[in-house]
A and B are shown apart, each in its own frame.
Chain A
Amino acid sequence: MAKDLQLVVVTPETTLLDEPVAGVRFPLFDGQIGVLPGRTPLVGRLGTGELRITTATEERSFFIDGGFAQIRDNTVTLLTARCVPASQINPDAASKELAEATARPASSDETIDARLRDQDRARRMLEVSRK
């Protein structure tokens, strides 16, 4: 049996979490990834979406917004610009953001990309807050 998994979540402002977990799920750039103790070392790019932590007693969920993941020696380190507990997400603000992004006119490739990204982000945030 492998040792416990240690989860560290770092944002530019602070170290948000540093605790042992049983398992963790988070979005990579192309989809969800689940990590259990004993995973091979990995460096990856994070996507936007839900970070779900399973401990022995409970399950918690957070919203994370891009960044990087590093896994080695049973330690998962997530570097992300923003990490908000699901309970603290304001669904109204998220839907307003979505509406704003949808209404924004976009003509060039970059602005269309930016709009899609913002829409995606707002939708995922809503999704996390509904759970």
Chain B
Amino acid sequence: MAKARAFVKRLKAVKNIKKITRTMELIATARFKKAMDRATEAAAYTKKIAEIVSDLSNAQLEGFTHPLLKTPEKVEKSVLLVLTSNRGLCGGYNSNVLRHVVARLREVDQTSEQIELDVCGKRGINFLKFQGRKADHSYTNFEDKPRFDEVEELANRYINAFVSGEIQRLDVAYMKFQSVSRQYAVLETLLPLGQLDSKAPSSEPVDYEFLPSPQDILDELVPAAFKARLFKCFLDAAVSEQIARRVAMKGATENASEMIGLLSKQYNRARQSQITSELSEIIGGAAALE
């Protein structure tokens, strides 16, 4: 019975694993829904900011500049912010993001540019440690519910560093969320901010009263727009992580089901062949006695 026993043991193990992956899939689905809701709610803020920008652009704003919008002539030091997950078992989620990071680091190595590496998530921290890169700042507090307060702290640090000329560029590597079925890893340059996205001007421009002047409002609006964009990166990363985990766990559950089918077939065969051989032994023994 030795061989059939081994199959029973493996079958049991696979069934247990299937239970776990199935549960993880369900949890990821629930978390994904929550993260998705948060992302949609946050979209209202970005939309409103774009609206105010377009309102302001109707009020003659030629020649407006803001330190965050200006592209520095020479990049001496840049920051690379990496958003990865704290936990694994989410398929290619982390490795896709980290591939971009490695490419960017290699690019920087060939120039005299300095780089500050900020990493969020245990997976990214461990990967870069393994690569022999030292992360200047590392964070593990961003889980699937990034809070604006936490992101704002980071954003303020970058704004100050950029305005004072310590850094000339900020890149964020993360998994961008496009739709439920499509997310892709990107490396986005967030600073300099470039163009402020504004909504298409509404058909009838409203004659606003500005308190204080449009320039002063824009001065405040630019950092707010940057913070909103950085926050969106975190939200996107959180949503994408849950989707990636759900897909990975779904695949794992399906594979486990397939394996269970295969193993039970093998087990049945092994058991049958054992019975057959035992039977033939008995028949053989009985025949010898006659």
Q: Which residues of A contact B (CB under 8 A)?
A: 10-15, 28-30, 33, 40-45, 66-68, 70, 72, 77, 79, 81-82
- Check A41/B206 contact, CB under 8 A, given A12-B148, A68-B221, A70-B52: yes
- Check A67/B217 contact, CB under 8 A, given A13-B38, A81-B152: no
Interface residues on chain B, size class:
20 to 34
B149: chain A residues at CB < 8 Å are: 82
Does residue B130 face the partner (Cβ distance < 8 Å to A)?
Answer: no
Name 12 extra pairs, CB < 8 A, besides A42-B209, A43-B55, A79-B224.
Answer: A12-B45, A12-B148, A13-B147, A15-B41, A40-B209, A43-B208, A44-B210, A44-B212, A45-B217, A70-B55, A81-B148, A81-B152
11 A–B contacts from the bound complex (CB under 8 Å): A13-B41, A14-B38, A28-B211, A29-B211, A40-B209, A41-B208, A42-B209, A66-B220, A77-B48, A79-B45, A79-B49
B52: chain A residues at CB < 8 Å are: 43, 68, 70, 79
Q: Which residues of B contact A (CB under 8 A)?
A: 38, 41-42, 44-45, 48-49, 51-52, 55-56, 147-149, 152, 206-212, 214, 216-217, 220-221, 224, 227-228, 231
- Check A10/B48 contact, CB under 8 A, given A41-B206, A42-B208: yes
Contact check, B220 vs A68: say whether CB atoms are below 8 A apart. yes
Contact check, A10 vs B217: say whether CB atoms are below 8 A apart. no
Kindly list the 3 A-B residue pairs having the minimum CB-CB distance in the complex, ordered from nearest: A44-B211, A14-B41, A12-B148
